[in-house]
Amino acid sequence: MPSATRQRLIDAGIKRFYRDGFRNVGIDQILTDVGISKTAFYKHFESKDHLMLAVLEFQNNWLQNTFRKMIQERGGESAIGQLRVVLDVVETIIESVDFQGCIFVNAAMEFPLMHEPAHIAAAGNKRAIEDIICQIAERAGAAAPRAVAEELCLIIEGTYVTRQVTGNRQTGDIARRVADRVIASHVPQNGHSPPQ
């Protein structure tokens, strides 16, 4: 279990990095938020970079768990029901008052080189969400569950970015219509194979 101070540093990092950007935030700002010294900080993290990675790991675990839970709560036990609510869950996220884009997209944009640890962490989250959707699509009887997951994840990413950049409040509705077409084209409806 992480110590209370370590978790407070992660929580402060989440707020600061998400709101102001990873590169824009200095360690002193986070220390002020938490109310500890640099000496105390270094007992928990070797550097700001290590804190950034801990923030991304924490957010990755939290998002995966929250995403699964919201899909199950809204979609019920049926796999096809769960697939159909994926974009409802995304809309809930983008309509949150705290929404400022996806923290993983933000990290990948600030650290664009594929070998950078923050970029690797961001890519790992995207693969994890794709895997969750792939498993649901497989249970729903999709002939190509990975293709369903890839297409829905592309729609999800477009939704996050479009809503953040344009502020268009119809973004979720548009995304849902496109997602419904993807699902209908891949998943058997009432026991019948989808059109090819």
Is 77 in contact with 67 (CB distance < 8 Å)? no
Examine residue 36 and state whether it is found in any structural domain, yes or no. Answer: no
Residue 192 lies inside a defined structural domain of this protein: no
Task: Give me the residues of the chain with pLDDT under 50, please.
Answer: 1, 191-193, 195-196
- Residue-level pLDDT at 190: 56
pLDDT at 2: 59
174 located within any domain: yes
Paired strand residues for 189: 192
pTM (2 decimals)? 0.89
Range of the domain at 73: 46-186
- CB of 161 closer than 8 Å to CB of 96: no
Which pLDDT value is given to residue 196? 46
Q: What is the pLDDT of residue 137?
A: 97
Asked whether residue 74 is domain-assigned, the answer is yes
Task: Specify if 147 maps to a domain.
Answer: yes
pLDDT score of 195: 47
Residues 171, 162 contacting (CB under 8 angstroms): yes
The structural domain count of the chain equals 1
195 lies in some domain: no
Contact criterion met (CB below 8 Å) for 55 and 17: yes
What is the CATH classification number for the domain harbouring 61? 1.10.357.10
Measured between alpha carbons, how far is 29 from 99 in angstroms, rounded to an integer? 21
Residue 167 lies in a domain: yes
Which alpha helices (H) appear in 85-141, and where do they start and end? Answer: 86-94, 103-110, 117-139
